[in-house]
Structure 1
Amino acid sequence: MDGERLTRVIGQYGRQLSALMQRFWHWWNGQLLDMLPPQLRRRLLHPGQQLCIYVMQEQFQLQLLPDGQLQPLGDIPTAQQQQLQQQVTHTRLCLPDSEMLLTTLTLPAATADNLESVLRFEMDRHTPFTAEQVYFGFSVAPREKNSQHIQVTLLLASKERTDAYLADLAGRGLYPATLCHAEHSSAPSIALPVSRHASQGGSRRKSLSSALVLVMLFLLIAVPLYHRQNRIENLTTELDQPRQRAEQTAALKRELNALQDSRDFLSLKRAERIPTLSLLDELTRTLPDHTWLSRLELESGTIQIRGESANASELIGLLENTTWFSDVRFSSPITSNPATNKDRFMISARLSEGGAP
């Protein structure tokens, strides 16, 4: 099986497996939801609303978000207040501007990693209060590139006043988890300490939901992953042999290319090299018997010969008649050797391109 065909097969199996897992996901999700109690199933499918408690003229006004109407807390019976607390998922206490301080600070960028501790430690430097006197929350604006400072929006509320409101609401069975600014929706929120009574009631309700949700998530994630992992292992095993063959083929191809480069290099060097033996053979055949050489120099496409001859002047013509030499000339004047009664000569010539066989 070649690589392209194997890729098509893998893609086909992958699409089939993905469709099968999606159908299994919807079926399994429906089966698990049907096993839950109706009340818990409604809470999971339809999360509760948020409850906002506003302090207006020394009295509390309630509003269910997102579409509820303001309603004085005194007009709601105690039983209805407790039922209302069970329906909502988050409760916020919203204070007016007169009871909160909203300010903006400019701090070094190095404080961003430990900003809460820095604000708590230096609260009295930036505000008229100490950290023990207030509840506070903050948000950080996006920092400009290469800026060495950050802009921090700080929201403060007096602990004394807030604790009085929280105590009054706790007596009515209401336990806010967040403190907000009633007139600035973009202001940061303040996390309030959770009371023991609220945490006990909420923890019982949330523990069952959390456990069931975790079990559902585990089953919904683990089963498809288990089948997918098995499929991946099988495909990996099937791909090992083609991958090894491909790697061996690539190694042989690299070795072949190296051998071809070496052969081309040797051929080039051989072509550039002057055939010395053929040159000596040509000189031996061309020069007459009464001529002999004492020195031969071959360098960079030129040749220079020295020797003696009974008739040195005829050598120029003999060498020019061959296909080996061009620009043949005497490099120095011809002189006579009294001992041998012959002419001394020195001839230089250029090797003709393509003259060699």
Structure 2
Amino acid sequence: MAALAGVDVFRRLQDQFIDPVTSCLAARFGGAARSSGKLRLTAAGAEFFAADSESSMQLGSPQQDGAKLNAFLHRDTRGDKPEVEIEIDPHLVMIRQVRLPSAAKRNLVDVLGYEMDRLSPFEADQVYYHFTPDPEQQGTDWLAGQLTVVQKQRLDPWYQMLSELGLAIGRVTLVDENLPLMLKPRQSGVARSGRSATMLLWLAVLLLSVVTAGGLVWQQRQIAIDLQHKMQAAREQAAESMRLEEKLSARRKAIGMVSAQRQDYLAVSDILLELTRLIPDGSWLQRVNLNSDSLLVSGVSDQASALIALLEASPMFVSVRFKSPVVRDRRSGKEKFDLTMNLTQGPES
């Protein structure tokens, strides 16, 4: 428990104190980080844009094209470890709206990591993730916002290639968006010229953590207990909401399928109207039998063989044929027939 609290102390101090101070030291002693260009990651690979925006190159894979990118950058070696901005195709990430208890603000990174397997198909150690709060939900009992998740296996090979080329990872955004996202590994330092100052800061942090560890352990334990109770209640409420949403989605899907099937069916009245239009004078229908996708009509006619061509001329009927041989009625002298045919669409019930 103490070890976990110490890690949390370091993480908080890094986010709130070390990173801002080391950035200032880098600007003071090593100069501001110089941009070497922009790497846009897509499902097909990547494209690198030079900082002057006048040239670019396609990259197929980080394993094969690292040397090619190094040669492309070799002509510009001023300064020390320039940064590369990262743009990620939105198709590579998963974005969803989430809602957490307001108490999660105190330890948001760990709470999201703990809940990652419920909020996404992945475990926390498989992804980089960033939470963007919804400003309209500020001041309520809930912390609502947008969760952006990307698999590490999509980014780490490219990050490793940049590291091997001596390039630092700068700002990470989605394509056509300007909001920076924490979709990268935590940095252990800044420019090489600022490493000595960073080491001194780490020594100060270690001393400070020894003094404050006892109080922070107790405080974190109380926060964890309180947050666990609230998260359990929120988890139960979320599970109930998901069950209701699944039921509603299933009913909507069923309604949609019924509507689609009704559009594909012919109305029985339309079929009878078409038969009335096509059957010529001198022919009478005595029986109509309608199945799911076929039609059987029986009757008498002066010339039954001519009915096949008349019925096949309709867009409603196909494969018109006699079901049985035509016979002549002794009393009327007309031909008795039984015709069967397929419907281009099923009848509407």
Q: What is the TM-score with the length of structure 2 in the denominator?
A: 0.38
Larger Rg: 1
> Which one has more relative contact order, counting CA pairs under 8 Å at least 6 apart?
2
